[in-house]
Every structure is written in C-alpha cells, then in structure tokens.
C-alpha cells in the first residue's frame, strides 16, 4: 500500500530484496524442462513462493505489483507473461514484463526498488523466466534492419563473436586459463550444492532437484579437446560458454518496514543500481563500466566490497572483467557461476541476488569491515548492469545506513 507523504520514513521507502526462490536450472532442449511451457513453469514457482512466504502475501495487502524479466518475450513467453502468469498463479496483482536481455531480472528488481523508494507501493513481487528450449534465441522471427546496420554495423553481432573479440583484446588470458576458470566454477557449484548452500532457495520441481549443467569432476583433458565453437581459429568453446538453460526465479522487493513486519530475518538493502553501455562487439565488458560507475556514484572502492556475483556468460568475459576491475578473485562467485549453474537469460539476475544474499548471510559471523555486495551482468547489444546491496539482519536494521 502507498504510504501517505506525512507518514513516510526512511524504513518505509528503503527497498530491500528478500524471499528469493528459484527453480533448478535445466539444460535447454534436452533437459528436464524441455517439455514445460515457460509461463506454466513460472506459475508453478509463484504458487510455491506464495505458500512459503504466506505472511508477506497476507501482510498489508501483500505485493501490489509484479515485474517479470524475460529476454525473449514472445510465443509461450509472450502476451505480457507477467500478467498471464500472475493470473495463472491466482495472484491479486497487475503485471509488467521487462526486457533487458540477460539483465532483465535484475532490471525488474531495480524497477521495483525505485517503486518502493518513491512510495509508489511498499511491496513488489519480482521474477524472471526463460525457456531456451521452447523460445529460440533472438526470437522466432529475428530480422536485421539495414537502417540500423548503416548506423551501427555491429548492432546484431552474435554473442559468440563478442566473446572472441574480448579474447583478442586479452591475449594474456589463454584458452587453458579459461578452461581452468570453467572447471573451478563447476567444482565450486558442486561443493555448494553438497554443502546445502542452495537448499533453502531452490525449489525441486518436475523431478529436478539440482542445477542440471554442473559437471564434476571436470575432465580438463576432454575440455581441451573441444573445437572452437564460434570461429575456426578461435579459442571459445562450448565448455567455456554458459550453457543454454531453462528456469525461473522469484523474490520480493519491499520496504524495510514491510520485510520486518512480514517476518524477514535478513535481507539485502538495495543501495543503488546503474546501467552502462559499451560497443556491441565487446558486450562482455559491460560490467566493467557499470561497476566503475557504481563505485564513483557511491564513493567506494573495490576494497569496500565483501562479495561479488558476476554472471559468467563466457569464461573470457568474466576473467577480463575481474582483471579490469581489479576485483580479488576470491570474492567472486565462490559458490559457482553460470558456466556451471546455467544461464536462463531472463532469470539470471535474480539468481545472482539470491546467491549474494546467502553468501553474505553465511559470512556474517566473520565479517568486520564490510557487508556490501554487488550483482552484475553483461548484456547483449553492449550493456552492463550492476546493483549494490548491503546485507543486514532484521535486528540490526533500525537506524543503520550505508
């Protein structure tokens, strides 16, 4: 519900993310979700989300709007999937679908955070979904504009080409190093699942209990034998690219006051979100500019950050961004990344927020200097998005500010 201006306080307009829940991410086209419509997958997830977080749905009218990220909102993901899935889940909310390609779900959370901050409403349901099995990349009727190409010849560059372009700019990052980075992602994902890291926020559904793309132990010899995937003389392979995936994610962006009243024990304060742009042909470098902008706006440095969740579109892309930003590798994707977990485009941004929340929560007893984290993704077309968050418990929240 909207707060009257006279009643607005910092706690009533401070946006927080909590109540994250996602499906396991399935291998596209041959995995567990290949026969499931994306709208129905999202309906199933949102029904379970409501059951688990019923107190939030019952408090003060519950979420008042729904924003869903989807990179290719057509076919079974079309007709404003947010509203359609909301109806299918019997939710009393309107709905809006947002498309910022790989950054769609994080953009959905940013839109909701802005809505809380301006007092539009104190509770939003945010989600993301993508079926790369049932809706083709670039869409079913992809068409290039000659007018656009005349102004921007690389506007329609493929993602594989962009990865090869980044590799050429960073010759010091060898193919072998990329394969080792990929192997580390699989190993970290495997360890995290075995340690129960994902148990609380991943919903077993349709017979799938874990993310389906994880390979462990990793066969580095087999990985090294793979041919280049995008260019005969290139170095990017299927193994060092994020797998095509199917999946959905959901969570709540509410005011801090709403979260505490609904029983949230901890949450991520959403401090700031920025977007950036780079040349389309090096789209993987988008996080560099977004994170630099985030640092400058908030007058902080990488030393202020305890954890980073960076989407691993390609090994080379993530490694180059980490290198350029001078981020200590030991704070990045410590529980695995998209190379292993999967990358259903429209849902990945919320997966990052859930992992960030859980990581910061688990390191809370040991933290001293900082409890700040960043979620960031590169985006097709030459964009980047980054969100700065602060982990805090409900008990700590009164009066504490960045």
- Domain of residue 28 covers 5-136+244-266
Residue 230 lies in a domain: no
Helices (H), ranges, 262-347: 286-298, 315-325, 338-341
Q: Which residues pair with 1 in a beta bridge?
A: none
Q: Which two tokens stand for residue 273?
A: 């979100």
- pLDDT tens digits for 41-74? 999 999 999 999 999 999 999 999 999 999 999 9
Average pLDDT over every residue of 38-42: 98
Give me the pLDDT at residue 392, please.
95
Q: Let me know whether 124 and 184 are in one domain.
A: no
Give the pLDDT mean for 166-180: 98
Distance CA 325, CA 298 (A): 16
Query: What is the mean predicted confidence (pLDDT) over 151-175?
Result: 97
Q: What pLDDT shows up at residue 394?
A: 87
- The pLDDT of residue 401 is 46
Identify whether 374 is part of a domain. Answer: yes
Instruction: Read off the pTM.
Output: 0.95
Question: Are residues 124 and 248 located together in one domain of the fold?
Answer: yes
Residues 68 and 180 in one domain: no
**Same domain, yes or no: 251 and 314:** no
Count helices and strands in the chain by DSSP H and E runs? 14, 10
* 183 within some domain: yes
* Distant-in-sequence contacts of 328-333, Cβ < 8 A, 24+ apart: 328/302, 331/305, 331/306, 331/307, 332/308, 333/185, 333/188, 333/308, 333/309
Answer yes or no: do 272 and 261 share one domain: no
Position 402 scores a pLDDT of 40
Of 73-77, 175-179, 351-355, 365-369, the least confident: 365-369
Q: Are residues 25 and 102 in the same domain?
A: yes
Do 123 and 190 belong together in one domain? no
Q: Tell me whether residue 88 is in a domain.
A: yes
- Residues identified as active-site: 102, 343, 378
Lowest mean pLDDT among 9-13, 327-331, 365-369: 365-369
Averaged over 94-123, what is the pLDDT? 97
Q: Is residue 286 a contact partner of residue 385, using CB atoms and an 8 Å limit? A: yes
Question: What CATH number is given to the structural domain containing 385?
Answer: 3.40.47.10
Q: Would you place residue 31 in the very low, low, confident or very high pLDDT band (cuts 50, 70, 90)?
A: very high
Task: Please say if the pLDDT value at position 367 is more than 60.
Answer: no
Residue 253 and residue 17 in contact, taking contact as beta carbons nearer than 8 Å: yes
Number of domains in the chain: 2
pLDDT tens for 340-360 read 999 999 999 999 999 999 999
Would you place residue 397 in the very low, low, confident or very high pLDDT band (cuts 50, 70, 90)? low
Looking at 7-16, 104-113, 129-138, which range is the least confident one? 7-16
Q: Both 383 and 248 in a single domain?
A: no
């Amino acid at each position: 519900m909207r707060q009257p201006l006279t009643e607005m306080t910092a706690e009533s307009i401070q946006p927080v993310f909590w109540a994250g829940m996602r499906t396991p991410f399935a291998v596209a086209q041959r995995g567990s979700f290949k026969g499931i419509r994306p709208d129905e997958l999202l309906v199933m997830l949102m029904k379970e989300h409501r059951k688990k977080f019923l107190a939030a749905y019952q408090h003060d009218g519950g979420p008042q709007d729904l924003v869903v990220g989807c990179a290719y909102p057509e076919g079974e993901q079309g007709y404003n999937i947010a509203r359609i899935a909301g109806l299918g889940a019997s939710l009393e909310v309107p709905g809006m679908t947002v498309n910022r390609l790989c950054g769609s779900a994080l953009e959905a959370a940013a839109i909701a955070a802005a809505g809380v901050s301006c007092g539009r409403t104190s509770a939003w349901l945010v989600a993301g979904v993508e079926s790369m099995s049932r809706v083709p990349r670039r869409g079913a009727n992809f068409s290039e504009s000659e007018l656009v190409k005349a102004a921007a010849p690389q506007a329609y560059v493929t993602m594989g080409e962009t990865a090869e372009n980044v590799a050429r700019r960073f010759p010091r990052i060898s193919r072998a190093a990329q394969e080792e980075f990929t192997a580390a992602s699989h190993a970290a994902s495997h360890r995290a699942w075995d340690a129960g890291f994902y148990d609380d926020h991943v919903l077993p559904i349709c017979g799938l209990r874990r993310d389906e793309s994880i390979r462990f132990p990793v066969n580095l010899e087999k990985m090294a034998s793979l041919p280049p995937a995008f260019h005969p003389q290139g170095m990017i392979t299927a193994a060092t690219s994020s797998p095509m995936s199917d999946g959905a994610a959901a969570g709540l962006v509410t005011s801090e006051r709403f979260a505490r009243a609904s029983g949230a024990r901890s949450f991520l304060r959403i401090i700031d979100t920025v977007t950036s742009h780079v040349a389309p042909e090096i789209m993987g470098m988008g996080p560099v500019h977004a994170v630099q902008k985030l640092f400058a706006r908030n007058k902080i440095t990488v030393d202020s950050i305890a954890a980073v969740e960076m989407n691993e579109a390609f090994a080379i892309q993530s490694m180059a961004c980490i290198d350029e930003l001078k981020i200590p590798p030991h704070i990045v994707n410590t529980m695995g990344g998209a190379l292993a977990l999967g990358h259903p485009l429209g849902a990945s941004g919320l997966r990052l927020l859930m992992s960030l929340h859980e990581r910061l929560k688990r390191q809370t007893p040991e933290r001293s200097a900082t409890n700040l984290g960043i979620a960031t993704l590169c985006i097709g077309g030459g964009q980047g998005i980054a969100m700065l968050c602060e982990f805090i418990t409900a008990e700590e929240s009164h009066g504490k500010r960045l």
